[in-house]
């Protein structure tokens, strides 16, 4: 069949085929939405043929209604179409997780991380797209199992090849809640395609093509009206009409329009069609529809051979089902499976599920069918569902594990005061939390509450509600209720005390947080809960650092003793080890980065992907403190690709990391937008601690933009937070330097003194760099008060100090010295010092501060306004002049595309050029790619 022939099969869908053509030519994604029978499956068939003709590898997923409860059913179908050994390049934890999820290996060893399978699927897709262009087709998204939805959504979002290497076509019904995780992640450009009803002409073309020339336009008009333009319904009506001629079943004609005694709905027609099948055929196909997919071998284990053969022959004769690929029984259309299952009597459905539960190999499938075969609670079935939940969790399907535990709880006979059902509801909630479905977790906790008569059970519910609270005060109130209800000496009390300490720390009550954390340590030690002890020590160190209390290093020492005791020669698993050693380390601590990178490698090797959000946030903070901003950008990209931000805490950690990186690299609009989004989060707006951090970062953004009133507004609030709470520091950030800067720029000397006082307290709490920053700010205040010579003496002494400050803060000290030199009238010294500061900022990759230093130098009158290119601008200009795209330049220089664009704007202005060709000619470079003609492309 030629391409025109392919398109001819979709009458009235020329616009849809055109959209698919564009998709396959240029990549991106298309979402085709249509009612049942609108032609989504037919569009998929044509798209597959077109994709193969264009040289794309086709990966097609065709889920059925009855596979929604099978873990990774869609992924199994996708991976089965990939080349053998496609997983060889994956890290071992991902390879093992994928094998376990697809039932190719047993879930031995540590529990599979929920993120391991999505990472593996991304790796497979990425690898395929690098070797050849890929077309991914997903039909009937509404029936795709949730485990596959989440994994595919994560995978397609992170494929790192060019946009034209992956084309995704998704077909779904018009339901806003279907597959949202996947639809939100689809690659750009994304187009939505609505399959509208066919007109009379298209219906006529369809009927004549499929049923013969007797379907003249007048006869087709009635079918078109009766079917409301639904192509599948039109065909079913026409088939029913011609089954026994024009008078079948009482059909009469009024002129050219038929009067239909057959049910004029799709469900009715299909139901009538399947009920005409012989009893044996209906019984066999009920088994297939209930299972979703069955092979001949599986059916032969249930149905006698002669009965099976006659049943399949009758199904094929009626054009209902045939034996297709891999000897699996396939319905002619997915809707026929639904119609046949719906038409079966309830007792026949239960019998089908009972036979499947007794015959199928997979314990999860058996449990699903067992629960549909009972009408009253059954303890044996409940136990089977609970075991299936454990298997699903081990395979990485947390969502399904929660659903199976819900089924187990519902199947549990009431007895023993509901203890068994209560425990199953709690475990269902825990699995939903791990899967990131907080709404389902809350619903499960509501069901558990109805069985939580005893105080201790109520406490178990409340401590989980504390974890799920949208804001800090609500979480604290739940934890307080749990505290009042829990046994004083019980193991649960240790966890509650730890959580109460965390809530109070977040709300700025350091003294109370410290006492509660210490109580948690004692209680956890009594019950040998080392996990809570380590978490509490991590929290205690944070409190001591933020409030400047306790003995510096005490918590770290106790943590090491506990973590490496009992003959252990390796650090404990988890993020806490790196966090304790690196998060509050000094900027020049040579071991901080190594601890964090080692922990990241260990987490990836062991498949502990939930740790990555904490570890990458810690790494980025360490690199920013060391002024290694390009390395921080590279770490952010690595975190994005690794899926670090997908854990339950990842969104907030990602906000912090992205604000830091984008602010220093000069993408102030993006950084400002991210900061405002973060501060609007309930967990941030209700937390004194988090709000203070975000506002401090926002103050730095506005200081970088030299919007002094805006900076002062944000930082004034931060100062108020520290005054009210008694905190002395926020994540070791020297935000008070920006406060003093903004205050001096606006003439607010009293506020500058307040900022200097905060820096002094921060230094006294164990951060020597804050003392140097305070001296610099004091010198600027001294200069503002008129004592220029004293200020110059102080600043010259600071600039001469070796390694007293991070490179960024040292450049700020040089900037301050140049500013005071200019104020003193020492133009040459000012110009030299300010240009040195600009070069230092530029070498660090902080363009906004380089611009500020250059602007100050221009005010001396000794530097032309146009200036020459900075080192950073030189690198960008050379790469662009060689013909590199903005994306390629950004990748080579560890910048964002927006930073490249900002550099190009300055380069064009300084060199008085207007295009990339002019830039190449000016620099004398030879372009290796054609000029696009645009300025910033």
pLDDT tens sequence across 387-429? 999 988 888 888 889 999 999 999 999 776 788 999 999 999 9
Q: Is the pLDDT of residue 929 over 70?
A: no
In the structure encoding, which two tokens stand for residue 759, read together? 């820096």
* CA torsion through residues 181, 187, 189, 191, sign: negative
The CB density around residue 603, as the number of other CB atoms within 10 Å, is 25
In the structure encoding, which two tokens stand for residue 187, read together? 């690659």
* pLDDT range class, residue 788, cuts 50, 70, 90: very high
In the structure encoding, which two tokens stand for residue 804, read together? 């007293």
Using a 10 angstrom Cβ sphere, with 0-12 exposed, 13-18 middle and 19 or more buried, the burial of residue 95 is middle
* CA torsion through residues 243, 249, 253, 259, sign: negative
Burial readout 730-742 (b: 16 or more C-beta within 10 A, e: otherwise): bbbbbbbbbbbbb
Instruction: Give the model's pLDDT for residue 570.
Output: 55
Across residues 53-58, what is the average pLDDT? 90
C-alpha of 640 from chain center: 9
Q: Is 755 helix (H, G, I), strand (E, B) or coil?
A: helix
Q: Is the pLDDT of residue 5 over 70?
A: no
Across residues 920-930, what is the average pLDDT? 58
Where is pLDDT greater, at 794 or 291?
794
Q: Is the pLDDT of residue 784 over 80?
A: yes
257-259 and 252-254: which strand pairing?
antiparallel
* pLDDT range class, residue 266, cuts 50, 70, 90: low
Mean pLDDT of the chain: 86
Instruction: Give the model's pLDDT for residue 252.
Output: 44
Instruction: Give the model's pLDDT for residue 176.
Output: 73
The alpha helices in 213-321, defined as continuous H runs, are: 217-227, 231-242, 266-275, 279-291, 296-300, 305-317
In the structure encoding, which two tokens stand for residue 521, read together? 């340590």
321-323 and 257-259: which strand pairing?
unpaired
Q: What is the DSSP letter of 729?
A: -
C-alpha atoms less than 13 angstroms from C-alpha of 132 in its C-beta half-sphere: 13
CA distance 363 to 361: 6
Tens of pLDDT, residues 889-914: 887 776 778 788 888 887 887 777 77
In the structure encoding, which two tokens stand for residue 851, read together? 């611009």
Q: Answer yes or no: are the C-beta atoms of 757 and 719 closer than 8 Å.
A: no
Element housing 334 (H / E): helix 334-343
Instruction: Give the model's pLDDT for residue 566.
Output: 54
CA distance 167 to 158: 14
Please tell me whether the peptide bond between 325 and the residue prior to it is cis, using omega within 30 degrees of 0. no
Tens of pLDDT, residues 562-574: 888 755 555 566 7
Contacts 24+ apart (CB under 8 A), 499-505: 499/463, 499/466, 499/467, 499/475, 500/476, 501/536, 501/539, 501/543, 502/539, 503/466, 503/472, 503/475, 503/476, 503/479, 504/476, 505/539, 505/542, 505/543, 505/546, 505/689
Tens of pLDDT, residues 348-391: 999 999 999 999 888 888 888 888 888 889 999 999 999 999 98
CA distance 581 to 81: 46
Q: Which of 459-463, 709-713, 872-876 has the lowest mean pLDDT?
A: 872-876
* pLDDT range class, residue 866, cuts 50, 70, 90: very low
CA distance 667 to 866: 22
CA distance 672 to 663: 8
C-alpha of 561 from chain center: 36
Instruction: Give the model's pLDDT for residue 31.
Output: 92
CA distance 71 to 148: 8
CA distances from 689 to 189, 543, 592, 613, 693 (A): 39, 11, 23, 19, 7
CA distance 657 to 649: 13
Which phi and psi angles does 166 have, rounded to 5°? -130, 125
Across residues 541-545, what is the average pLDDT? 92
Q: Is the pLDDT of residue 253 over 80?
A: no
**pTM for the full predicted model:** 0.78
Q: Is the pLDDT of residue 576 over 80?
A: yes
Percent of the chain whose predicted confidence (pLDDT) is above 90: 42
Across residues 324-338, what is the average pLDDT? 80
Instruction: Give the model's pLDDT for residue 458.
Output: 95
The CB density around residue 837, as the number of other CB atoms within 10 Å, is 28
329-331 and 321-323: which strand pairing?
antiparallel
Q: Answer yes or no: are the C-beta atoms of 639 and 630 closer than 8 Å.
A: no
Q: Answer yes or no: are the C-beta atoms of 461 and 448 closer than 8 Å.
A: yes
Q: Is 60 helix (H, G, I), strand (E, B) or coil?
A: strand
Across residues 742-771, what is the average pLDDT? 93
Q: According to the per-residue pLDDT averaged within each range, which of 178-182, 353-357, 925-929 is highest?
A: 353-357
Between helix 788-800 and helix 807-824 the angle, nearest 10°, is 150
CA distance 717 to 753: 16
Q: Is the pLDDT of residue 66 over 90?
A: no
Q: Is the pLDDT of residue 4 over 70?
A: no
Q: Closest Cα partner for 741 from 768, 707, 767? A: 707
C-alpha atoms less than 13 angstroms from C-alpha of 595 in its C-beta half-sphere: 21
Across residues 68-85, what is the average pLDDT? 86
* CA torsion through residues 94, 95, 99, 105, sign: negative
Instruction: Give the model's pLDDT for residue 251.
Output: 45
Q: Is the pLDDT of residue 283 over 60?
A: yes
Where is pLDDT greater, at 16 or 922?
16
Across residues 25-31, what is the average pLDDT? 89
Q: Which of 161-165, 183-187, 193-197, 512-516 has the lowest mean pLDDT?
A: 161-165
User: Based on C-alpha coordinates, what's the Rg of the chain?
Assistant: 34
Across residues 620-629, what is the average pLDDT? 95
In the structure encoding, which two tokens stand for residue 799, read together? 């600039």
CA distances from 372 to 155, 291, 414, 744 (A): 33, 11, 19, 73
Q: Is the pLDDT of residue 934 over 70?
A: no
């Amino acid at each position: 069949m030629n391409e025109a022939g392919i398109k001819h099969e979709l009458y009235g869908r020329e616009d849809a085929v055109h959209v698919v053509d564009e998709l396959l030519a240029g990549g991106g994604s298309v979402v085709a939405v249509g009612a049942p029978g609108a032609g989504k499956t037919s569009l998929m068939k044509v798209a597959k043929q077109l994709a193969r003709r264009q040289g794309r590898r086709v990966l097609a997923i065709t889920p059925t209604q009855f596979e929604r409860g099978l873990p990774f059913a869609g992924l199994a179908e996708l991976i089965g179409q990939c080349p053998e050994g496609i997983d060889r390049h994956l890290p071992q934890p991902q390879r093992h997780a994928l094998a376990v999820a697809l039932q190719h290996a047993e879930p031995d060893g540590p529990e599979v991380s929920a993120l391991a399978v999505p990472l593996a699927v991304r790796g497979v897709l990425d690898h395929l797209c690098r070797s050849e262009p890929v077309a991914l087709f997903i039909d009937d998204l509404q029936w795709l199992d949730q485990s596959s939805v989440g994994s595919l959504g994560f995978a397609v979002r992170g494929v790192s090849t060019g946009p034209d290497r992956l084309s995704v076509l998704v077909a779904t019904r018009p339901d806003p809640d279907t597959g949202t995780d996947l639809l939100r992640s689809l690659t750009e450009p994304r187009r939505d395609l609505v399959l509208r009803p066919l007109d009379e002409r298209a219906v006529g073309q369809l009927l004549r093509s499929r049923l013969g020339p007797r379907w003249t336009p007048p006869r087709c008009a009635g079918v078109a009206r009766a079917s409301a333009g639904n192509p599948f319904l039109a065909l079913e009506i026409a088939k029913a009409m011609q089954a026994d001629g024009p008078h079948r079943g009482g059909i009469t004609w009024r002129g050219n329009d038929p009067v239909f005694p057959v049910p004029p709905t799709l469900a009715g027609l299909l139901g009538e069609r399947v009920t005409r099948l012989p009893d044996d055929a209906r019984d066999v196909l009920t088994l297939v529809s209930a299972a979703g997919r069955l092979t001949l071998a599986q059916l032969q284990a249930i149905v006698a051979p002669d009965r099976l053969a006659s049943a399949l022959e009758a199904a094929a004769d009626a054009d209902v089902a045939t034996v297709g690929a891999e000897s699996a029984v396939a319905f002619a259309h997915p809707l026929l499976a639904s119609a046949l299952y719906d038409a079966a009597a309830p007792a026949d459905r239960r019998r089908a599920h009972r036979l499947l539960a007794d015959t199928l190999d997979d314990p999860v499938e058996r449990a699903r069918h067992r629960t549909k075969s009972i009408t009253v609670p059954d303890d044996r079935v409940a136990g089977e569902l609970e075991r299936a939940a454990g298997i699903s969790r081990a395979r990485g399907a947390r969502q399904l594990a929660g659903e199976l535990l819900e089924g187990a709880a519902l199947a549990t006979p009431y007895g023993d005061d509901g203890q068994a059902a209560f425990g199953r509801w709690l475990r269902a909630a825990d699995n939903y939390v791990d899967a990131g479905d907080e709404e389902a977790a809350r619903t499960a906790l509501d069901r558990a509450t109805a069985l939580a008569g005893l105080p201790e059970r109520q406490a178990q519910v409340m401590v989980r509600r504390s974890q799920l609270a949208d804001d800090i005060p609500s979480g604290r109130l739940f934890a307080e209720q749990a505290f009042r209800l829990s046994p004083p000496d019980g193991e649960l009390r240790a966890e509650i005390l730890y959580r109460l300490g965390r809530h109070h720390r977040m709300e700025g009550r350091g003294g109370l947080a410290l006492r509660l954390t210490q109580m948690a340590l004692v209680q956890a030690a009594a019950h040998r809960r080392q996990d809570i002890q380590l978490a509490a020590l991590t929290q205690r160190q944070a409190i001591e650092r933020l409030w400047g209390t306790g003995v510096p290093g005490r918590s770290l020492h106790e943590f090491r003793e506990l973590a490496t005791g009992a003959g252990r020669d390796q650090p404990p698993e988890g993020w806490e080890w790196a966090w304790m050693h690196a998060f509050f380390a000094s900027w020049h601590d040579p071991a901080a980065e190594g601890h964090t990178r080692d922990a990241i490698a260990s987490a990836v090797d062991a498949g502990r992907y939930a740790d990555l959000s904490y570890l990458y946030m810690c790494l980025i903070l360490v690199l920013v403190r060391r002024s290694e901003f390009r390395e921080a950008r590279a770490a952010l990209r690595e975190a994005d690709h690794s899926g670090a931000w997908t854990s339950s805490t990842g969104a907030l950690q990602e906000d912090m990391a992205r604000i830091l990186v984008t602010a220093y690299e000069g993408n102030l609009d993006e950084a400002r937008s991210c900061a405002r989004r973060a501060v609007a989060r309930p967990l941030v707006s209700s937390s004194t601690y988090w709000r203070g951090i975000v506002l401090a970062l926002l103050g730095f953004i506005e200081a970088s933009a030299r919007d002094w009133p805006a900076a002062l507004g944000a930082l004034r609030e931060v100062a108020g937070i520290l005054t009210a709470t008694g905190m002395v520091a926020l994540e070791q950030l020297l935000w008070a330097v920006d406060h003093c800067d903004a205050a001096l720029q606006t003439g607010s000397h009293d506020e500058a003194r307040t900022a200097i006082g905060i820096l002094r307290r921060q230094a006294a709490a164990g951060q020597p760099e804050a003392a140097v920053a305070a001296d610099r700010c004091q010198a600027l205040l001294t200069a503002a008060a008129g004592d220029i010579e004293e200020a110059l003496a102080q600043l010259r002494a600071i600039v001469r100090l070796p390694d007293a400050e991070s490179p960024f803060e040292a450049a700020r000290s040089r900037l301050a010295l140049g500013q005071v030199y200019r104020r003193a009238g020492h133009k040459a010294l000012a110009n030299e010092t300010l240009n040195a500061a600009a070069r230092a900022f530029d070498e660090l990759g902080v363009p906004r501060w380089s611009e500020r230093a250059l602007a100050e130098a221009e005010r001396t009158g000794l530097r032309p306004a146009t200036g020459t290119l900075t080192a950073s601008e030189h690198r960008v200009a050379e790469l662009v002049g060689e013909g590199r795209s903005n994306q390629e330049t950004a990748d080579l220089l560890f910048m964002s595309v927006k930073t490249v664009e900002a550099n190009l704007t300055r380069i064009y202005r300084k060199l008085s050029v207007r295009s990339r060709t002019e830039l190449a000619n000016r620099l004398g470079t030879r372009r290796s790619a054609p000029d696009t003609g645009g300025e910033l492309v």
